[in-house]
Chains A and B, each alone.
Chain A
Amino acid sequence: MKCRLLRAMERGCKTAEEERAFRTSGQFPVVAAGTVIDDPEAYQLVRMGIAEAADAECEAIHGMTPETAAAARKAYERVERGIHPTDYAAYDAGEMIGYDQEGNPIPGPNYLPPEQEEAQEEENDTEAFSNWRGTAG
């Protein structure tokens, strides 16, 4: 069963030379994006959002739609960034993109400072109330 990597991925060291290199650099050997993986579990990589099917056998078994595949790619990116499950919602909302060296969230494109967030909430509440009054009236 074959799949094609959509992104570069690390693998474990297989030779003494690779292990020596890892000890020196801290970098695992890398398998390049586009590499075809031939493995009985290749469909798992497709389900993870790391790869796409590269033969009919894999295509038949992975069971992903374009939508679920896109969601899987996004979810893997989240896991690879080490996002803690308690912060998944904030990451998905674009409020954070990772953690700094103090363990604090790194603001994302949709981050609102606390004061602005409060003002935004108030604005939303007022709008909701007006809409409700409009409907009720």
Chain B
Amino acid sequence: MATTPCKGTILKTTISSLLTAVAQVISLDAGDIEGETYDADTLDNSSAGIPYKSTGRVEGGKVSGELFFDYALPSHSGYIGLIGKDGVASAISFPQAASPYNMAFTGAGFALGLAVALKEGVKGKFSIKVSGLPVFASGS
């Protein structure tokens, strides 16, 4: 079984027209990519199951995660500068995979919240709405 270790994964967002790596990321969640469906049940359906059909549209979901936040880091202050913007080229890279791959996506709806807890470092909880569809492609 081929698995990709999580350590080594890199989140990149666009700052000053370049894809730059975001520092101090602890975890990433690139979930909720989902084909949109509608309830296609009919009165004469003899089955108890509810059938669904695809509308042909796909929700790109969002990329979210946590990082140790430090405003002095340019990639963090740069991230704050993206809040309110759309059409931002972004990516998650998996260079540590046996066959390295990238997930490229266009970011919109950048969000950030800070979490301060007594026994923790200050953490930033971020999320980026995926505009359109993410593209997965193999290559370092």
Contacts and interface: CB of A to CB of B under 8 A. Distances in A.
The reply to whether chain A is a binding partner of chain B is yes
Interface residues of A, number: 41
Nearest to B26: A85
A44 B74 contact: yes
Interface in A45-65: 45, 47-48, 50
Given A42-B16, A50-B18, A85-B68, A103 B137 contact: no
7 contacts: A9-B20, A11-B17, A12-B91, A26-B137, A82-B10, A82-B21, A84-B8
A76 B101 CA distance: 21
B75 A48 contact: yes
A10 interface: yes
B54 interface: no
Interface in A4-57: 9-13, 19, 22-28, 31, 37, 39, 41-42, 44-45, 47-48, 50
Given A26-B102, A82-B10, 13 more contacts: A12-B88, A25-B137, A26-B137, A26-B140, A41-B78, A41-B81, A48-B20, A81-B8, A83-B8, A99-B5, A101-B5, A101-B97, A102-B5
Interface of A: 3, 9-13, 19, 22-28, 31, 37, 39, 41-42, 44-45, 47-48, 50, 72, 75-76, 79-85, 87, 98-103
A79 B10 contact: yes
Interface size class of B (residues with CB under 8 A): 35 or more
A84 B91 CA distance: 17
Instruction: Give the residue among A37, A72, A85 with the most B Cβ atoms within 10 A.
Output: A85
B58 to A, nearest CB: 16
Nearest to B98: A101
B126 to A, nearest CB: 15
B19 to A, nearest CB: 4
A116 to B, nearest CB: 24
Nearest to A80: B21
Contacts of A82: 7-10, 21, 93, 95-96
B16 A39 contact: yes
Contact of A103 (B8, B26, B90): B8
Contact of A79 (B22, B137, B139, B140): B22
A82 B92 CA distance: 11
Nearest to B139: A26
